[in-house]
Every structure is written in structure tokens, then in C-alpha cells.
Structure 1
Amino acid sequence: MQPTTRSMTASKNLRSSFNPALEDIRMSPIVSISEAARVRAVEYEKTGGRFVFFQRGEIDFPTPKFIVDAAKRGLDEGLTKYPRSGGENFFREAVARRLKIDHDADVDASQVVATYGGQEGLELSFKLFKSGAGFSPTWSCALENFVPFAQIDFKEVPLNADFSVDYDRVDDAVRGRDFFYLNNPQNPTGKVFTRDELTRIVEICTSHGAFVIADEAYEKIIYDGEHFSLSKLAQENIITVFTMSKAYSMTGWRIGYAVTRNAKVAKLLRLGNYTQTAGVTTFLQFAAAEAMNNVQESRAAIAAMNEEFRRRRDTLYEGLKDLPGITIDRPAGAFYMFPNFTRIIPSDLSGEARNHYIYDLLMENGIATVYGSCFGHHFTDNVRLSFSATPVPVINEAVERFRRIFG
């Protein structure tokens, strides 16, 4: 059927601009990088080499069988009706019990809100406020998605070159703002904040009447030191967000939860969850509750995964740490490294050319990474390497390639 003159006129009169809450959002650069990597891989592997994917934070471990079996039982038991907004009682109670076991956190089930992945928990938390600040480098979705979607004024607070905290910068940034966001363990650096660092940040925020939003997606992926969860602190200005995706290898299940002692915030998060998604799928909550209740099996699965991640971390770090011109820190948690190449990048480069220099060089040599400015505009001389789905033999091959390029 041919369009009528009337319908074509109507199309021309349609609005060409929309609500900036959506129009200003960008698809994560990691998605476009991954698409480019897949195309490049086909050409590169025609030459006989193996293309190495270091760009995604996906995990190559399957979801543990006991969790999958629990999801099947949930279906068999008819857990297929509308869910309760904010989470079923059995899920929220399981979260509260596990937080006590893992973090010695005294949390009541009423202080837990189930969300579609940690991402929804963070998005809803950001939307509570009009202004905020947070460390950079940081998770790209916080900058590219949550900030424009929530339409908030957000200030990046750079970590020091060694990824330590400049408390004066934190104090200056949070003054007059509603919240401070941090990711611990951190994507992309692998930094695990110490208890002293975290409590001092909370003290600064409290002194200015600001909230702290703590993103603890990688809470159980720890190699060195200990993870101190802000869910342990009883203050009402803290929102701690967790996900089942990383520790339990459940990235595609899309289930997480937020924890807060602030009753009004918990109510608003439940209302936001109801408005956006009408609750989290019930049989998935059932499976996630089993993951948390079955402490023995879940800890065994997490320990096995972390042992492999540790091997990958050590192989990659030991292979790169002595290469001339590269500055790299050994990550204490998560599964990322964030090396700096300032001494290698030509000094006369700036802007996008500087930002893409190492990324392009590695891509040409069959290695996909993520350029550093995805995680904060101060970090054009870094790239992120993810070893979440890269076996040790492939890492060894990549290290040899790095040595060939930079050695």
C-alpha cells in the first residue's frame, strides 16, 4: 500500500526531538567496540592468528547447576504470577541472612529491594536525586546512561595516579550535592577500597548531608585484602547495590537488590521498581534465594571461579608489568586491569587521536580492549583489559603479542 499524501504530511510534522532523559543516553561504547572486534576478528584470523577479546565483562563460567535446578523447581511449583514489587519475602529474607553471614551486616528484610540486576538498583538510586559526584575512572554505564537518564548534574572526582583517594577532592565535589557514587571493587581498575577509605568517605558525605551510593557488584571477587561492605553500616544515608550477575555467574538472569536503612528511600525504590518493571520475575527470585541460602555450594562455586580468575590475573600482570612505557597495577578484586600508556603515546597527539591510539594499535594486532575515556574523561592514556572470559593459554598468547608491540 502506498502512503497517502495526508500520512506523509503527518510524518513530516512529527516531533524531531524527545525527552532528553532518553535522547541524551548513549549506547555503551563497549557494545560498539565489541561489534567492531567481531568484524576485525574475522579478518585477523584469516591470517592464521587468534583474535583476543579483552573488552567485555562477561563471565565464561556457567551458572552453577544447583541454581539452575532451583529455577526449574520454581517453574514447576507455579511461581509464574505477577511478582511482589520490591521482592518476594523469601528473596528479601534470604538476602538479609546472607548479608549477615558474609558481611556481619544486620539488615532487615524490609530494608531490601529486589531489582532487575544491579543496574536497575543503581538507576533508581540515581533517579532519587538532582545532583551527585563520584570517582573516575568508573563504570561506563554510570556516566553514559544513569547520569543522562536521571537528568542529574554529576561531577567526576579523579582518583590519584596510583588510584588512591584525594579526600579534599571528595569534600569539594560533594559539597552542595545530593550523593556520592563509588564502585567497590572497582571497574575498571580492580581497586578494593579499604575500610578506612570507605568510612572516611561516608564521614565526608554525612557532614554535607549527602547520601552514598555504593555499587558492590564485585563484592565476592577478591584476591588481596578484604572487601568491606557499606551494608554493614547502619547509617540512613547509605544505599548499597548488589547483583547476582558476577559472583554467581548469572549475568543474563538480570537480578540484583538494593539495601538501605532509610525507610523512605526503600519505599521510593520499591515504587520505582513497580513503575519500571512491575517487579522481578518470581521464579528467578526463587533461584537467587537458593543461591544465597545454600552457603556451602555457592561458596564452593565462587572459590573455584576466583581461583581461575586469580590465575588469569597473575598471568596477565606478570606478563605486562615489566614492559617499557607501561604502568600497571595488580588488581585486588574484580577482573579488570587499567594500564597506562602515557610514555608510549606520542606527546603531540590530543583529543580522539590520543584517546584511540593504543586501542587502535592493539586492535590492529588482534587484541580488543576498551579505551580509557569510556570510564572518565581524565583517562585517555589508559585502556581496560578484562580477563573474565579469557583462559590462561590465550592470555599467554596475548602477552607475547604485547611484548612484540611494546617490548
Structure 2
Amino acid sequence: MELADRVESLTPSTTLAITSKAKALKEDGHDVIGLGAGEPDFNTPEYILDAAKNAMDQGLTKYTPSGGLPELKDAIIDKFKRDQSLVFNRNEIIVTIGAKHALFTLFQVLLNRGDEVIVPVPYWVSYPEQIKLAEGQPVYVKGSEDNNFKITPEQLEESITDQTKAIIINSPSNPTGVLYTKDELEALGEIAIKHNLWIVSDEIYEKLIYGNDNHQSIAEISEELKNHTIIINGVSKSHSMTGWRIGYAAGNETIIKAMTNLASHSTSNPTSISQHAAIAAYTNSEEEIERMKEAFEERLNKLYDWMMEIPNLSCVKPQGAFYLFPNVSKIVNQSPFDSVDEWVKQLLEEEKVAIVPGSGFGSEDNVRLSYATSLDQLEEAAKRIKKFVEKYSV
């Protein structure tokens, strides 16, 4: 059967392939430790569950406006004021079926055929595919590991052409967990303004930042940068609500209106119950979020130390999110395996540890480990990985 070219061009998700294989092994009775998950392992807080139950009991189960409930938009507006001193109105916000849907819809309304979007490498796996689905062209700019995987203003300037429409900034980053500083964002932003580019600021991990670091949105640096920025966010990571599918975009009113019109013909509206749950998420105390963040920070510090005991492994220590992105190229070069992808497959087969090869994120020397699981599982995983590395060291 002949399928549409836009679908044929898609690259299968490496993360899903590993997850599927790990699930099959687990169903066969193997003791598999899965470190591929891109979601918190905590349940959604009780007060959010209660809000959803109350919404159902009250019969709030009908269609909502395509762009989201006004009450939820107001809660998001208050959140921006509270956290970042950013001021938006309802017409500058669309609620979507997860942050992924916000990105997808944004690229659909922003890009024409051949328009280029600058994608820093490493990147989240869906950025390039969504750009291609909108008939755009991803332009990859590699962030050096020596520079904590962050791109420089000089690299950005060199990559811009007459076709460049936007740049993606993901801070904290998936898969690296690194943060851009205010100065770094300002320098990139100046170039974006100079060339009249849109800045797509993916801030989905903003609540999961550790140590003394703080989240910095490029939109809060100046009014001019705010006017060039579309912020993408949601409750999936911050409130452990991945399955509820509530995200949003905030920015230019014309773009948000176009996104809302497109949503009205594609999805009708985000799920009503999930929207009421999200209202509760943004109008209650963040104590539960803080507890979850503390648990992630403890896991990060312990797993990082355990992994650094493995010979020939190097790793930039993350500042946010819940991933490690170590470089294993030296390990693989001293093994019988031809690539990191093969090494990862054999690790799963032999030691039953599922991690994601960095090739899916544009970085073939690295692997991604999620620490969204218990400390016991993380410690055991590190032991198994070390055993595997020592077994195949030449």
C-alpha cells in the first residue's frame, strides 16, 4: 500500500522500540530494569485526582472551547505571573492535548514548505519529525559536550539562512538535563531578533531543577524577546500528569488564534475532565511538586556517582529534568560492538537493563538513562551496566 510521503519520511521512535523490547522481555518473566521512561514514576497528587472526580460528579463531561476552558487559561495566566512575572491574556493562550500537541500544532501553523527550523543537538526525538510533518526542514546545530551540549551565538548565526523561520530552545533539556543561563539565552535571543526568528521555548521541565539553579525563560528577559517567543509547557512532568494530556502554548495572539482554529478541526478540544484536573494543579500548593523534586534530586546525585564509577564513561551532570546522558563512546570502542546502538541492544539482552541510545537524539556517542524509578532499581541498574562494561572491555 502506498502511504503519504509525509508519513514515509518519519523516523521510528528509538525510545518506543527499546520500551517495547523491554516490555516483551518482562512479560516473558525476565527481571528487566527499564530506564527509558520519559515520565515521573509518582502518582498524580490526590488533590488533582479529587478535582477530576468532582468534575465528573458535577457532569462537566461535555465539549469545551477548542482553545481550552477560560478558567484553565486564567490559572495558566496566574501561573506565568507568579513564576516568571510574565503577563498574558486569554487570547494569547491555547490549551492542548499535551505539550507535544502544542508543538505539533504550532509547526503546522508556522511553517510553509521549505521553511527551516534550527534544532540544537542533542534534541528531543519528536522535534525533527514534527517539523518534517509540517513540510519544514530541521537544521541541526550540534552543542559541544565541552560546552554542556549548548549551542553558541556564533553557531546560531552561522546556521541562519533566508529560509530560517524559528529556533527551538529546550531548557532544561531532554535528553541532557542542562540549563541555559540568562546571559546565554539573551545572546541567542539577540540573534533571533536580528534575523526576525520565532523562538520556540519548550519549558516542560521547568519545575524539575536542582541545586541552586533556577529556571529562566527567554521570554522574561525583555518585552522584545517575549514578542518573539512561543512558550510551550504543560502539567505532565511538573505534576506527574503524563496520561492526562494537558499542555499549552502562550505567545503571539495571531499564532495562538491560528492554532486554535486548527485544533477546532482536528481535536475539537482537550479532555474536559483533564482540564479541570489541571486547574487544580495550578491553583493549589506546590508541596507535592517539591517532594517529587527532592526525590529526583537525590536519585540524580546517587545515580551520577554510581555511573561515574564505570571505567571510560564520562557524563555532564544534569541540572534539571530526570535524565543522565553519558558518553559511552570509549567503552564501545574498546568492546566488540560496532556502535552504541548495538551495545545498548546487547545490554538489554544480557543484563536486562533498558536504556535509550543517543542516536535517537542526534548524539551517537551517548545514551539516555531516566532516573524516574526507585533508588534500589537505579543502584542495581548501575551494577549491571558496570558488570557488562567490564565483561566486554578489551
Please give the TM-score of this superposition, normalised by the length of structure 2: 0.91
State yes or no: 1:208 paired with 2:186: no
Question: Number of matched residues?
Answer: 378
Partner of residue 242, structure 1: 233
How far apart are 1:217 and its partner, in Å? 1.0
Partner of residue 330, structure 1: 317
Any idea what SS the aligned residue of 1:345 has? helix
Select the residue among 355, 359, 362 that pairs with 1:373: 359
Contact between 1:114 and 1:258, CA under 8 Å: does it hold in 2?
Answer: yes
Q: How far apart in 1 are the matches of 2:244 and 2:21? A: 26
Q: How far apart in 1 are the matches of 2:118 and 2:218? A: 18
Partner of residue 271, structure 1: 261
How far apart are 1:374 and its partner, in Å? 0.1
Of all paired residues, the percent bearing the same amino acid is 31
Q: Pairwise mapping of residues 85-100 of structure 1 onto structure 2 (< 5 A)?
A: 85-100=66-81
Q: How far apart in 2 are the matches of 1:41 and 1:253? A: 26
Select the residue among 156, 166, 176 that pairs with 2:140: 156
State yes or no: 1:38 paired with 2:46: no
Q: Pairwise mapping of residues 302-381 of structure 1 onto structure 2 (< 5 A)?
A: 302-346=289-333, 353-363=338-348, 364-376=350-362, 379-381=363-365
Q: How far apart in 2 are the matches of 1:43 and 1:279? A: 40
Question: What is the CA deviation profile of residues 334-386 of structure 1, one whole-angstrom value per residue up to 9, with x for unaligned ones?
Answer: 00011001212227999xx414133124212221111111001xx21111001
CA RMSD of superposed structures (Å):
1.9
Select the residue among 161, 166, 184 that pairs with 1:197: 184
How far apart are 1:26 and its partner, in Å? 3.8
Select the residue among 109, 112, 127 that pairs with 1:142: 127
State yes or no: 1:116 paired with 2:107: no
State yes or no: 1:401 paired with 2:392: no
Q: How far apart in 1 are the matches of 2:248 and 2:169? A: 16
How far apart are 1:71 and its partner, in Å? 1.1
How far apart are 1:148 and its partner, in Å? 2.4
How far apart are 1:249 and its partner, in Å? 0.6
Q: Pairwise mapping of residues 155-234 of structure 1 onto structure 2 (< 5 A)?
A: 155-162=139-146, 163-176=149-162, 177-224=164-211, 225-232=213-220, 233-234=222-223
Question: What is the CA deviation profile of residues 250-305 of structure 1, one whole-angstrom value per residue up to 9, with x for unaligned ones?
Answer: 10111111000x221111111122122011122321221121011x2xx1011111
Partner of residue 5, structure 1: none
Contact between 1:133 and 1:181, CA under 8 Å: does it hold in 2?
Answer: yes
What amino acid is the match of 1:150? Answer: A
How far apart are 1:205 and its partner, in Å? 1.0
CA 348–310 in structure 1, closer or farther in 2 if over 3 Å, else same: closer
CA 175–28 in structure 1, closer or farther in 2 if over 3 Å, else same: same
Q: Pairwise mapping of residues 6-17 of structure 1 onto structure 2 (< 5 A)?
A: 16-17=1-2
State the structure with more CA Rg: 1
Any idea what SS the aligned residue of 1:221 has? coil
Contact between 1:125 and 1:213, CA under 8 Å: does it hold in 2?
Answer: no
Which 10-residue stretch deviates more, 226-235 or 108-117? 226-235
Any idea what SS the aligned residue of 2:177 has? coil
Any idea what SS the aligned residue of 2:178 has? coil
State yes or no: 1:385 paired with 2:345: no
Contact between 2:175 and 2:325, CA under 8 Å: does it hold in 1?
Answer: yes
Q: Which runs of 5+ in 2 are unaligned?
A: none
Q: How far apart in 1 are the matches of 2:28 and 2:65? A: 49
Contact between 1:211 and 1:238, CA under 8 Å: does it hold in 2?
Answer: yes
Partner of residue 280, structure 1: 270
CA 327–53 in structure 1, closer or farther in 2 if over 3 Å, else same: same
Q: How far apart in 2 are the matches of 1:53 and 1:277? A: 32
Contact between 1:95 and 1:109, CA under 8 Å: does it hold in 2?
Answer: no
How far apart are 1:120 and its partner, in Å? 0.7
Q: How far apart in 1 are the matches of 2:51 and 2:27? A: 39
Contact between 1:341 and 1:358, CA under 8 Å: does it hold in 2?
Answer: no
Q: How far apart in 2 are the matches of 1:36 and 1:248? A: 28
Contact between 1:22 and 1:148, CA under 8 Å: does it hold in 2?
Answer: no
Partner of residue 242, structure 2: 251
Moved over 6 A (4+): 347-350
Q: How far apart in 2 are the matches of 1:280 and 1:349? A: 49
Q: How far apart in 2 are the matches of 1:348 and 1:81? A: 58
Q: How far apart in 2 are the matches of 1:93 and 1:306? A: 25
Q: Which runs of 5+ in 1 are unaligned?
A: 1-15
How far apart are 1:85 and its partner, in Å? 1.4
What amino acid is the match of 2:366? Answer: N
Any idea what SS the aligned residue of 1:204 has? helix
Please give the TM-score of this superposition, normalised by the length of structure 1: 0.88
Contact between 1:191 and 1:332, CA under 8 Å: does it hold in 2?
Answer: yes
Which 10-residue stretch deviates more, 354-363 or 299-308? 354-363
CA 291–43 in structure 1, closer or farther in 2 if over 3 Å, else same: closer
Q: How far apart in 2 are the matches of 1:83 and 1:20? A: 34
Contact between 2:132 and 2:138, CA under 8 Å: does it hold in 1?
Answer: no
